[in-house]
Structure 1
Amino acid sequence: MIALDTTLPALDVNDASGNTLNLKDFAGQSSVLIYFMRTSTCQVCVNHVRDLGKHKAELDAHGITVLVAIPEGAEAVAKWQAKSGSPFIGISAPSGSTHAEFGLNKKIFGSMQETGVVLADASGRVRYTRSAVIATGAYNWEELYSAMKEHLPLAA
């Protein structure tokens, strides 16, 4: 997993509409939370994203843009975005796995995609990470919220 106190990589990603974004584009504009789904159909991951949606007011209050990284590519991102109705931006890396760029690899004989959360402040500095091979261990709202309160001021 990407290390704390490093900066987000200058990684190009595509959103559900095929638009290219660079993670560095958020620097100076907003903090960024990236939730890495194991697959677009992982029910545990879907539930984690739904829980983030329940906390959208708190995320907005801290000026956080939420990105949901889906490892299967742009087509899966578009399908997930349409089906989920999520208020968050689905992304995938056009040149490979967004997950691998953050050190989230396939484990257990190469069959299980690691999942996790990365929180970076508006300067792009990584302030919180959590990852797991088993999706149930990759997300903890209370821990994430504590990191938000510690490292990210409330938005003006």
Structure 2
Amino acid sequence: MINIHTMLPAFEVTDAQGGALSLTDSVGEDNVLIYFMRTSTCQVCINHLRDLAGHKAELDAYGIRVMVAIPEGQEAVARWQEKYGFPFTGIAAQAGSTHAEFGLNKKIFGSMQESGVVLADIDGVVRYTRSAVIATGAYNWPELFTAIRELTPEAA
């Protein structure tokens, strides 16, 4: 997993419509939270995203743009976005794996995709990371919110 206090990597991703964007497009404008799903159909990951959606007011108050990295590519991002309708931007790497760019690889004989969370501040500096091979360990709202509270709220 990428280290805290390093810069958010500047690489291209694709959204649900196939549009290209860079992970650093929000630098200078928004804080960025990237949730890395194990798969687009991982029920544990979907439950984590439901919880994140339930905290949308807090995320908005801190000016956080949420992106959800899906390892199966742009078509899976489009299906995921249509099926679940979360208020987040689904993304996939244009070439290779968004997950691998962050050091989230397949473990346990190459069969289990790691999942996780990365939080970067408005300057693109990574302030929080959490990852796990087993999806249940990849997300912890109280721990994440502690890191979020260290960011400057939009209302301030």
TM-score range, shorter chain: over 0.9
Unmatched 5+ residue regions in structure 2? Answer: none
- 2:136 counterpart letter in structure 1: T
Aligned residue number for residue 97 of structure 1: 97
Question: Offset of 1:25 from its aligned partner?
Answer: 1.1
Aligned residue number for residue 155 of structure 1: 154
Aligned residue number for residue 29 of structure 1: 29
Percent identity between the aligned chains?
A: 71
Taking structure 2 as the reference length, what is the TM-score of the superposition? 0.98
Aligned residue number for residue 9 of structure 2: 9
**Counterpart-to-counterpart distance in 2, 1:49 and 1:61:** 18
Question: Offset of 1:24 from its aligned partner?
Answer: 1.4
| Residue deviations 1:78-124 (CA, integer Å, cap 9, x gap) | 00000001100000001011000000000000000000000000000
Q: State how many pairs are aligned.
A: 155
Taking structure 1 as the reference length, what is the TM-score of the superposition? 0.98
**Counterpart-to-counterpart distance in 1, 2:51 and 2:18:** 26
**Counterpart-to-counterpart distance in 1, 2:92 and 2:49:** 16
**Counterpart-to-counterpart distance in 2, 1:94 and 1:23:** 12
**Aligned structure 1 segments of 4 or more residues deviating by more than 4 angstroms:** none
Unmatched 5+ residue regions in structure 1? Answer: none
Aligned residue number for residue 44 of structure 1: 44
Q: Give runs of aligned pairs for residues 104-123 of structure 1, distance below 5 A.
A: 104-123=104-123
**Counterpart-to-counterpart distance in 1, 2:75 and 2:10:** 22
**Counterpart-to-counterpart distance in 2, 1:51 and 1:10:** 28
Question: Offset of 1:47 from its aligned partner?
Answer: 0.4
